[in-house]
Structure 1
Amino acid sequence: MTWHETERGWLAEALRAADPHDPTLCEGWQARHLAAHLVLREQPATAIGALRGGVAGAVERLAASAADPAGYAALVDRFAARPARWSPLAWAGDAVNASEYFIHTEDVRRGTGTRTLRELPDGLVEVLWSQLLRMAPLRLRRLGPGVVLVRDDDVRSAVHAPRAGHGSVVLRGAVGELVLAVSGRLQAADVRVDGGEEDVAAVRDLLSGG
């Protein structure tokens, strides 16, 4: 079983453990909205018909059908089932889904204030780290200060070079926490941020708030 298939199961479990109206780390979204997003993302036929009114409207309409426990359970079951073979995401694999599913699992878990870290398998940690090193330069490209990511095992990578007049900011934490931070969830991640005051403020401003 691939990591994204394992993570699909973990994400489905997290959604099932949540109330449909529980908040998530995705601003303005409850658990039912996140489940709707996941279903629309993976089922092109559903998405094409729903998206005629726009992405936000499509998510809202599908989420509305999951406002009660039965509707929510049915929506989560749709996500938990593997996508049809003709869906692009049926063969996209870890490269597309590993970080996505990890982040959204934590969106559900931490949306109500839970900060307990999960112990991740070593293989998944390395997949997430590899994807983080590809994602971070794009995510951080407009920052003045540089950014260095340091794992909890002291492996490090400079993912963004400082511009003139700026120093570098160091983010330290477990790989999963660094993924959350760089994806815009710094406020919910267990990450230490070190650097000059103004540079740290710039990084926090970019990476906090979802």
Structure 2
Amino acid sequence: MSMAQRERQQLVEAMTAAGPEAPTLCGAWTVRDLAAHLVVRERRPDASPGIMLKPFAGYLDGVQTKTARKPFPELLEEVRTGPPWWSPLRPVDAIVNLTEMFVHHEDIRRGTPGWEPRELPAADENALWSFARRMGRRAYRRSPVTVVLATPDGKRAVVHSKPSGEVILTGKPSELLLHAFGRDEVRLETTGDPESVRAVLSLDRSV
């Protein structure tokens, strides 16, 4: 079973335990709203472009609102089973859905105060490192200073370069990835002058 598949199953378990009206880290979205988002993304190719393209966002919102009215167990089953056989996402599920499932799993876990980071296997952290570097180049592209991602075991990646200072974000790849995806409920250490650190942490890192 791929990491994406494991995260998907654990995501559904977390949704079941939290309940449909529990909060998430996705703004005002509840668990039900998040489940509807995942179902539309994988099963409504007519609406899913609205996730990234603003001209189609209105249509997406309508489809997602209607999808969210489904019985909660039905939504969870559609999330659990993943892309249908005809979906172009199905053959590449292990790649394109790894970060989607991981990040949204944590959106539920960390949506309630008192959360603690999971201890992921080293192989999973290594898999997330490449995604953290890739996402970091996008997330910190507007930074006024150089941004370096670093891990406690010595990995480093310059994801944005500027001549006017440097900020180092240090943490496990899982934490760095979540921060690059715009989440603030993370465990990271920062190195750099306070003004530069504030500038980096206040960037709009949303996808």
Counterpart CA distance in 1 for 2:26 and 2:7 is 19
Q: CA deviation at 1:209?
A: 7.9
Deviations 1:98-148 (A, max 9, x none): 111110000011111242111112222111111111121122111111111
What corresponds to 1:117 in structure 2? 117
CA contact (8 A) 1:40 1:46 kept: no
Aligned letter for 1:101? M
Classify 1:14/1:46 alpha carbon distance in 2 versus 1 (closer, same or farther; 3 Å). farther
Question: Are residue 60 (structure 1) and residue 57 (structure 2) matched?
Answer: no
Partner of 1:100, secondary structure, is helix
Q: 1:206 is paired with a residue of what secondary structure?
A: coil
Could you tell me which residue of structure 1 aligns to residue 177 of structure 2?
Answer: 179
Identity over aligned pairs, percent? 38
How many residues are paired up?
A: 201
Contact 1:181 1:207 in 2 (8 A): no
Is contact 1:182-1:207 (8 Å) kept? no
TM-score of the superposed pair, with normalisation by structure 2: 0.88
SS of 2:135's equivalent in the other structure is helix
After superposition, residues 154-169 of structure 1 pair within 5 angstroms as 154-162=154-162, 164=163, 166-169=164-167
Question: Post-superposition shift, 1:97?
Answer: 1.1
| 1:148-201 deviation per Cα after TM superposition (whole angstroms, max 9, x unaligned) | 111122221111112x4x21111111111111111111x200111221122111
Distance in 2 between residues matched to 1:192 and 1:136, nearest whole Å? 16
Q: Which amino acid is the alignment partner of residue 205 of structure 1?
A: S
Q: State the TM-score, normalizing by the size of structure 1.
A: 0.87
Aligned partners of 1:181 and 1:52: how far apart in 2?
25
Q: Distance in 2 between matches of 1:101 and 1:124?
A: 13
Closer/same/farther in 2, CA of residues 45 and 96 from structure 1, 3 Å limit? closer
Cα deviation 1:31-63 (Å, max 9, x = unaligned): 000000000011136847x97952223222222
List, as ranges, runs of 4+ consecutive aligned residues in structure 1 with deviation greater than 4 Å.
45-48, 50-53, 207-210
Q: Which residue of 2 aligns with 1:191?
A: 188
Q: CA deviation at 1:72?
A: 1.2
CA-atom RMSD, angstroms? 2.2
Which residue does the alignment assign to 1:89? 89
User: SS of the counterpart of 2:182?
Assistant: helix
**Unpaired segments of 5 or more residues in structure 1?**
none
Residue 58 of structure 1 aligns to which amino acid in structure 2? V
- Measured in 1, the distance between the counterparts of 2:173 and 2:113 equals 20
Determine the C-alpha separation between the residues in 2 that align with 1:167 and 1:197: 11
Distance 2:190 2:57 in 1: 42
State the distance in 2 between where 1:204 and 1:53 align: 30
Q: CA deviation at 1:208?
A: 7.1
Alpha-carbon separation, structure 2, partners of 1:3 and 1:115: 22
Q: 1:209 to 1:139 in 2, by over 3 A?
A: closer
Greater helix content: 1
